[in-house]
Amino acid sequence: MDKLRELIQKIFDEDGKLENSILRFFDEERRAIPEAYTELDEVCSGSHDVIRAIQEGWDKQEIDQIFEEMEQALQGLRHSKAPRAVSWQFFFEAARELVEARFSRIFYGFLTGEYTAIEEIDLSKLTYEGMDVSPQAWLFGLVDALSEYAKLHRDWMNDRRLATVQAKANAVRDEIGFLHTGCEILYNYMSTPSGVIDAYSRRGWMNTFRGKLGKIADLIERLKDRYSTLLDQIDAIADKEAAMNRWGTKFQEQMVQFLASRSGH
């Protein structure tokens, strides 16, 4: 037992160098946490700014500047000296925010006509490797972008004030088609063990990959109900117009008969 006591004492050495080294390491990690919070906040704020910018029609250079600042903050988190449990979690959150913002910009660009052809997009920069993030963060960011697109599409329809029920129905039909296609592709990853794909996500079912896809599936069903309602309105309008046309035709016939009877007198 004396040898064991001597062993533990020698490991920590008598002059306290190892103890001081450990304490300095802990202090360095502690001091890095506030900086990590700041960098995460910069990325999240940048993501919100991108959404606002594309809706308000900011210049491309202004939006690119936001993305550049987000990238810098993300790199700061990548090399953060905060405890791994903190830095990895923050990096995941920041990475998915960046992915969401990048996809949202492109999705909205096609909606508004900023982009008209896929060839205008460098697809290599839209992969998880091109964005230099983990597959998990990339998939979560893409799911979030689909949800964000639904909000952007709703605001776009309100801003456009689509003149006819048919135009509204067409817009909702296109939105359903896009979201359904996105979900079909992402369903391929549903079989991935939760311990892998949800490794860095927050607690709670709605924060899991399956939970987020389920939320979009519910949204699609609500949009289908809305589309069905719009189609019913279109049918009602068509029936009303047909009735008006029949009434107009009958009225014309009656007028012709009346005028003919008058001319016979």
Confidence (pLDDT) at 49: 96
C-alpha distances out from residue 94 to 34, 55, 81, 142, 174, Å = 15, 22, 16, 13, 30
- State the total domains in the chain: 1
For residue 198, the model assigns a pLDDT of: 86
The runs of H, that is alpha helices, within 126-189 are 128-131, 135-160, 165-186
Q: Hey, is 140 helix, strand or coil?
A: helix
Let me know if residue 131 belongs to a domain: no
Is 23 a domain residue? yes
Walk along the chain (265 residues) and give the pLDDT tens digit of each residue. 788 887 877 777 766 788 888 889 899 999 999 999 999 999 999 999 999 999 998 899 999 999 999 999 999 999 999 998 889 999 999 999 999 999 999 999 999 888 999 999 999 999 999 999 999 999 999 999 999 999 999 888 887 776 688 888 889 999 999 999 999 999 999 888 888 888 878 778 888 999 999 999 999 999 999 999 988 888 787 656 555 555 556 545 555 554 556 565 5
* 34 is a domain residue: yes
The answer to whether position 55 is within a domain reads yes
Contact status, residue 209 vs residue 141, Cβ threshold 8 Å: no
The answer to whether position 105 is within a domain reads: yes
Residue 56 within any structural domain of the chain: yes
In a domain, 77, yes or no: yes
Residue 99 lies in a domain: yes
**Residue 7 lies in domain:** 1-113
